[in-house]
Every structure is written in C-alpha cells, then in structure tokens.
Amino acid sequence: MDLIAPHKEQFEKTIEHLRSEISGLRTGRATPALVEDIVVEAYGVKQQLKAVASIAVADAKTLTVDPWDKGLIQSVESAISHSDLGINPVNDGKLIRLPLPELTQDRRQELIKVLHKKLEEARVAIRKIREEARKEIDNKEKAKEIGEDEKYNLQDDLDKVVKSYNEKAKEIGDEKEKEITTV
C-alpha cells in the first residue's frame, strides 16, 4: 500500500501554484503574465484583464492590450494605471500600449524579496503536506495496519520525495532570481 502517492499530487499543485505566483513578477522582458490578472471593472463586474482583452508582446519591452469591447478601453487603462506595476499605459483609442520601464536596482531587490517570500510560502506548504502524510503513516502503525519497519521505510521515502520537491522549488526560484537580476 502506497501512502505517499496521494500526497504527490498535492506537492505538484504546490509547485504549480509557485510557478503561477512568480510568473507575475516582472523581469527585464515583457510577458502577458505581468498584467493578465489585473482586475478590471467590466459590465458592472470585476474581471481579470485576460477575460476582457487580448494581451500580446509587441517587443521585448512593450505589451499591447486590445480590449474586445472598445467601450472598455478607459476601464482597462484605469485598472492598469492603478495597479502596483508602475506601468503608464498609452491609449491610442483602439489599443493600449504598455512600455515597460527599465528596472532599477532597488526595484530588482524588492522583486527578489517578494520572490523569496513566495518560495518560503511554497516550502511551508510542502512541510504541511509532509506532516499530514507523517500523521497518516503514524495512524496506520497505531492501527496495526503496518509494522514499525514499514513505518520507517515510508517515512524515509516521504523525506526523499519532500527533498526532491524542495529542490524543484529552489531551482524555480534560482531561475527566476537570475531572470530578475539579469540586466
């Protein structure tokens, strides 16, 4: 009986959540992930930008946002202006251009701090999943469903799995940090 397999899915979800969380962190390149989750007031409802407009990369330092309903262009522009990205949208009446300013060294350091916070959140989530799995293993032993040797073998296997997911999170973080610090 494999008590670790059901938890691997939770570990994978944690890693995927980490990837999606840090994809919005700005690096030197333009990417739609920077703005796609900005909340826009559209038709009296708050929606994500990606739900009301197409977002494209015009060049390495410019994004374009093309609202499907041109009546929303002011609302989209306002939402981008009020976001904490520090991007000044340029509205030409049909399309919104988002020229990305160069990242200052201070801003890069702030982004790295945010990245480290997100990485720590992922490590905490992995530890919580590990603790759940350990409790399950202990309960199986107390219920005499598994022996003491099997318990320790399962715990060793669990520790190896946790170590591999922590390393995966660290690799993702190192990659993103390199992207942020590259000028």
Percentage of residues in the chain having pLDDT higher than 90: 29
Domain containing 88 equals: 32-99
- As beta bridge partners, residue 41 has 46
Q: What pLDDT score does 3 carry?
A: 76
Residues 41 and 87 in one domain: yes
pTM of the prediction? 0.69
Q: What pLDDT score does 26 carry?
A: 65
Number of domains in the chain: 2
Q: Is pLDDT at 84 greater than 80 in this prediction?
A: no
CATH classification of the domain holding 169: 1.10.132.20
Residues 59 and 116 in one domain: no
**Tokens 């899915």 correspond to what residue?**
9
Last residue of a domain, one of 55, 84, 99: 99
Q: Is pLDDT at 116 greater than 80 in this prediction?
A: yes
Cβ–Cβ under 8 Å, residues 37 and 49: yes
Q: What pLDDT score does 183 carry?
A: 62
